[in-house]
Structure formats: structure tokens, C-alpha cells
Amino acid sequence: MSRQKVTTSIEIPLHIEQQEVWDLEEELKLVESVEVDLHEPKDIASITSLVLHITINVAENVAIIAGGVQAVHTVAKILYDFLHQSSKKQAEEIKRKIIVSKHGKRVEIYNSSMEEIERILKEI
């Protein structure tokens, strides 16, 4: 059995409070089969990037998806909660610009349901 990593980037606008980003990173680190790399820019006018590596076990070209599917589901829930947890109108507007990117495709996820975010993480 081999392990395959699926990598997804989440672009976070610079106006989101740094502590919120760190809290999101810590929450994602708790998900089994997920590795998180936070790339904070040295330039304060740049976006922050969270890179997620979701590990999926593969046996003879067939993915043993239980762990991978659960990890994607959990990540989708964490992202959905992160997007909609703020009570401040300004923070809500900023979070509308969060983008998930993978293989050159970029998708804004703010108006997506948790199920749509999960589908986006699986597809792109």
C-alpha cells in the first residue's frame, strides 16, 4: 500500500486577523491525514497561504478512501465554520475573498455550503 498526497492551497486575504489564521491552522493540524503549512508573507500587502496536504492511502491503484474522505469532510467543516463564525460585518466581507486553489483552478468558497466546499476540495 502506498500513500498519495493531494495538495490544496487556501488563499487568505491580508485583512483577516492573524490570530484567526493561526487558530484555523491549529484546528486543521488536528485532522488526521492532513498536514498544514502556513506561509505568512514578509510583505504585509500580500495574501497568506495555507497549504493543505491530505494523505490518501492507495492499494494497487485503488484508493482506500475512508480516511481521505473523512479528512476532506472535516477540513470542509472547519473551513465553513471559519468563514461564517465572525459576528463583525467587516470580517464577513473580507472572508468573501478566501480562495481555494489546486492544479491552477481557483474557487471562491464563501457562498458555498459545507457540502459544496467538500466537493470543491475533492474535485479541483
Top-level CATH class of 2-123?
alpha beta
- The structure's pTM equals 0.78
Task: Give the model's pLDDT for residue 119.
Answer: 86
Read off the C-alpha cell for 51. 497549504
Higher pLDDT, 61 or 124: 124
Nearest to 122 by CA among 49, 59, 52, 35: 52
In sign, the C-alpha dihedral spanning 86, 87, 90, 96 is positive
For the chain, domain boundaries: 2-123
Express each pLDDT in 41-87 by its tens digit.
777 667 788 787 776 554 444 444 555 678 888 999 999 998 887 65
Q: Pairing mode, if any, of strands 48-59 and 2-12?
A: antiparallel
Cβ atoms of 27 and 83 within 8 Å: the answer is no
